[in-house]
């Protein structure tokens, strides 16, 4: 956690990105649409670690896929080093993304081809992007294995013969094969045994420092996200609703949802009840008008029902570093106990 986002160069920028899918449940001719992203904005500075949190279905994985060009936005722009990805020719975009970004998925068992030995898995991106000679590629495979803490003999193994942790190391090695600047990890430890999770997280942080990577880290484990990241991005129903410097989370977060989310998984030193919210996340097929969080928020009033709050500065961290979307933000430094009693009064 070393980069000052106020001075670092912007690597990646999402502006008003929408992703709309045909609803899976509705059948082929259904008009139902799922609004997976509903105007997501995000700036990632080079060298930063950005953690993305939010409840299930709020669009974290979709955001991750948009960031690495695996998902084309329905509208909005995605720029990598100032270049709009989706106005490029397909081949140019694939080359740029393939060589500058790497993605690590939740489950290495499904992400890796189980029938190919690890050597082949790691050579594959080098072959596709025509990097070096055959001999150079063999050397690169050894280098990659060493980078992720696996012995050279792992090259001959089939991924199915490796442990979950070792398989995730192979997946990380493959993501690093083309020396990307940006690594996106979508729930990289949730399919692993608890005993190896910390090792994989430490490996990611170590690689980030050694290779000068920019890291976007998506996880349900919000305490880990906070510990690992420079910036915590809170998502709700397809939008980024707050971006907080991690040292200011949770006490100086201003969005009621960020506060509620963190209060539901308190640290060991603050084992108190969560801030009570009304109901559950509304359907992404029919997002509410105005502020998407207003149907559950204890602070909501008429203006929240009609007007989407604009992004504004929050005050924690260097200016421009802390941003949130809320008409009635939580006062900086308010305690969970204050917020719990306010929320209880509204129920």
Ligand X SMILES: Nc1ncnc2c1ncn2[C@@H]1O[C@H](COP(=O)(O)OP(=O)(O)OP(=O)(O)O)[C@@H](O)[C@H]1O
Nearer to ligand X, 62 or 214 (CB): 62
Locate 289 and state its tokens.
Answer: 């008008």
Shortest Cβ 28–ligand X spacing (Å): 13
**Contact residues for ligand X, defined by CB under 6 A:** 21, 24, 34, 36, 54, 56-62, 284
Cα distances from 288 to residues 206, 307, 312, in angstroms, run 42, 11, 21
Nearer to ligand X, 117 or 282 (CB): 282
Residues 26, 28, 30, 34: is their CA dihedral positive or negative?
positive
Nearer to ligand X, 55 or 138 (CB): 55
Contacts of 346 by beta carbon, 8 Å cutoff, 6+ apart:
298, 299
Q: Give the DSSP H or E segment for 122.
A: helix 118-128
Shortest Cβ 103–ligand X spacing (Å): 14
Shortest Cβ 201–ligand X spacing (Å): 18
- Decide if 99 contacts 180 (C-beta within 8 A): yes
Nearer to ligand X, 60 or 123 (CB): 60
Locate 315 and state its tokens.
Answer: 């005050």
Nearer to ligand X, 66 or 171 (CB): 66
Shortest Cβ 8–ligand X spacing (Å): 26
Distance from C-alpha of 145 to C-alpha of 89, rounded to nearest angstrom: 34
Distance from C-alpha of 140 to C-alpha of 132, rounded to nearest angstrom: 9
Shortest Cβ 217–ligand X spacing (Å): 13
């Amino acid at each position: 956690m070393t980069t000052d986002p106020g001075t670092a160069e912007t690597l990646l920028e999402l502006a008003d990105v929408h992703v709309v899918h045909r609803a899976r449940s509705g059948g082929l001719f259904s008009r139902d649409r799922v609004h997976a992203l509903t105007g997501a904005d995000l700036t990632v500075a080079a060298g930063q670690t950005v953690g993305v949190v939010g409840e299930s279905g709020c669009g974290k994985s979709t955001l991750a896929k948009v960031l690495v060009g695996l998902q084309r936005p329905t509208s909005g722009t995605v720029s990598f080093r100032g270049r709009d990805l989706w106005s490029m020719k397909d081949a140019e975009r694939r080359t740029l993304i393939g060589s500058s970004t790497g993605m690590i998925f939740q489950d290495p068992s499904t992400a890796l081809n189980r029938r190919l030995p690890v050597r082949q898995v790691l050579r594959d991106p080098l072959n596709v992007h025509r990097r070096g000679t055959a001999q150079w590629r063999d050397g690169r495979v050894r280098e990659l294995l060493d980078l992720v803490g696996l012995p050279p003999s792992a090259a001959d193994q089939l991924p199915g013969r490796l442990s979950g942790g070792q398989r995730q190391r192979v997946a990380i090695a493959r993501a690093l094969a083309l020396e990307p600047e940006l690594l996106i990890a979508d729930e990289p430890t949730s399919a692993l045994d608890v005993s190896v999770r910390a090792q994989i997280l430490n490996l990611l942080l170590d690689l980030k420092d050694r290779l000068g990577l920019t890291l976007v880290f998506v996880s349900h484990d919000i305490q880990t996200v906070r510990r690992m990241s420079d910036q915590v991005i809170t998502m709700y129903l397809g939008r980024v609703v707050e971006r907080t410097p991690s040292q200011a989370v949770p006490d100086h977060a201003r969005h009621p949802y960020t506060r509620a989310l963190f209060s539901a998984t308190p640290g060991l030193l603050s084992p108190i009840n969560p801030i009570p919210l009304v109901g559950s996340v509304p359907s992404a097929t029919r997002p509410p008008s105005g502020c998407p969080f207003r149907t559950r928020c204890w602070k909501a009033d008429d203006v929240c029902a009609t007007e989407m709050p604009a992004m504004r500065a929050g005050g924690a961290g260097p200016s421009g570093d802390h941003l949130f979307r809320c008409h009635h933000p939580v006062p900086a430094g308010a305690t969970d106990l204050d917020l719990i009693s306010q929320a209880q009064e509204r129920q």
